Structure 1
Amino acid sequence: MNTTPSATDRAYEYTKDAILTRRYGGGDLVSEGDIAAGVGVSRTPVREALLRLQAEGLVRLFPKRGALIVPVSQQEIDDVIETRRLVEGFTTERAAGLAEAERVALVDALGSYLDVMRAHVATDKRAFVVADREFHRAIIRAAGNQVLIDLYETLRDRQLRMMEEGARTVERLRANIDEHAAIMDAIRDGDGPAAREAVRVHMDAAGAMLGARR
């Protein structure tokens, strides 16, 4: 079985990473030729990759000119936070209702991600963010809805490019750990309403960090 990424997939991953890490900033106009040169492919797979990214709302294509990197708007921030609140409130409450053995296994996994977050809170923000994402991903997967799993991945990608590096202060990250611990404790206790409320508190804090209106 051939698992080598196609030229289109490579162009897609290259461009998406550049957008999410803000190497391509909001409002930049990027040509197909620039991307093709960066990836080492022809323009045809780049064009196909850009169509995928346009469908995800990350770029807007202008024939013969290139791709405009769609700037982050306040409305997008508000929408992403609101949708995460709905998705994760539901899935976390469902996770709290799992059978005890399933909850124990989930809480063990969540605890391991919290340990990573604590270990890297002041030294490695990238490792912290990866563990943060895995924490939420584990809960959503435990809820067992593939559509919501896919939606979560899209939401986290979009949120990544909204985050200004300076917002991730050590103080804020430590508060983030406490919020995650509250979510984990509610799941451990099998307390659905408390789990949903812990998610609301966490999402409100995320919205405030991103500058979302309340």
Structure 2
Amino acid sequence: MVTTRRRSTAPAETPVFHSRAEMVYEQLKRDVADFKLVPGDRFTENELSERLGVSRTPVRQALFRLQQEGYVEVLFRNGWRVLPFDFERFEQLYDLRMVLETTAVQRLCTDETKIDRALLEQIAAIWLVPAAERSTDIRQVAQWDEEFHCSLVAAAGNAEMTRVHRDVTERIRIIRRLDFTKQARIDATYEEHAKILRAIQRKRSDPAVMLLRAHIQTSQSEVRKITLHQVHLARAA
């Protein structure tokens, strides 16, 4: 199987940080999403300060922010700990994602006035390809999958819906990436995305929504099967 490199549907941007605390915050979120930090891991502010090359003040500010978002907790006189996954919260976020994406797909099939056709063409160029041209890069496919769903919502032309969906996407990213640790799931994602896109292109609203709903439900089902052992395996992969 040949791995191809295709242009991302999202513009490449160099992140601009307005403070060291923001830089630390973004780095720690990436560490959690990339399984460099997994549920149960413990660390101190001094350890992070040394690793990131900053003082304890921005580290503490970033950690308090992550604490408010439910990623970490402070341990009395014993540093910090990455919190276990809150699966009930993930279930609720997946339900919200389902509502937003199915609504967007219905609009893509029926409303011609606000649809961003160029955006749809960009994701079609990634997913409607022969099997031999599919990527086998787990990280790349995970990123493209996220962009696929965000682009479907964005292409529907509702800025507020797009904003809420991107917030949901960011909050489920940590658990969602575990869906791409097996090649079978990558292959299935290509097939399912292609069917959804073809249904949208043909303006077949009901089949498109049905396919999308089944696709999200499958991913949600995989999330339910995730164990801490699988998280550690993902970090080691």
1:160 to 152, 169, 173: 173
CA distance in 2, matches of 1:52, 1:5: 15
- Would the alpha carbon gap of residues 106 and 117 (structure 1) be closer, same or farther in structure 2, given more than 3 Å must change? farther
User: Which residue of structure 2 aligns with residue 84 of structure 1?
Assistant: 97
User: Which residue of structure 1 aligns with residue 43 of structure 2?
Assistant: 30
- Would the alpha carbon gap of residues 39 and 116 (structure 1) be closer, same or farther in structure 2, given more than 3 Å must change? farther
The answer to which of 29-38 and 165-174 deviates more is: 165-174
User: Which residue of structure 2 aligns with residue 45 of structure 1?
Assistant: 58
CA distance in 2, matches of 1:40, 1:31: 14
- What code does the residue aligned with 1:91 have? A
Percent of aligned positions that are identical:
26
- Cα distance, 1:199 vs. partner? 1.6
CA distance in 1, matches of 2:41, 2:50: 17
Listed as ranges, the matches of 1:129-208 within 5 Å are 129-163=142-176, 168-208=181-221
Is 1:11–2:24 an aligned residue pair? yes
CA distance in 1, matches of 2:51, 2:166: 26
Tell me the TM-score normalized by structure 1. 0.82
- Would the alpha carbon gap of residues 102 and 73 (structure 1) be closer, same or farther in structure 2, given more than 3 Å must change? closer
Count of residues in correspondence between the two structures: 210
- Cα distance, 1:103 vs. partner? 5.8
1:132-153 C-alpha deviation (Å, 9 max, x unpaired): 1111121111223344333333
Instruction: Flag structure 2 segments of 5+ consecutive residues without an equivalent.
Output: 1-15, 227-237
- What code does the residue aligned with 1:21 have? D
- Cα distance, 1:104 vs. partner? 4.0
Please give the root-mean-square deviation of Cα atoms over the aligned residues, in Å.
2.9
Tell me the TM-score normalized by structure 2. 0.75
Q: Match of 2:175, SS?
A: coil
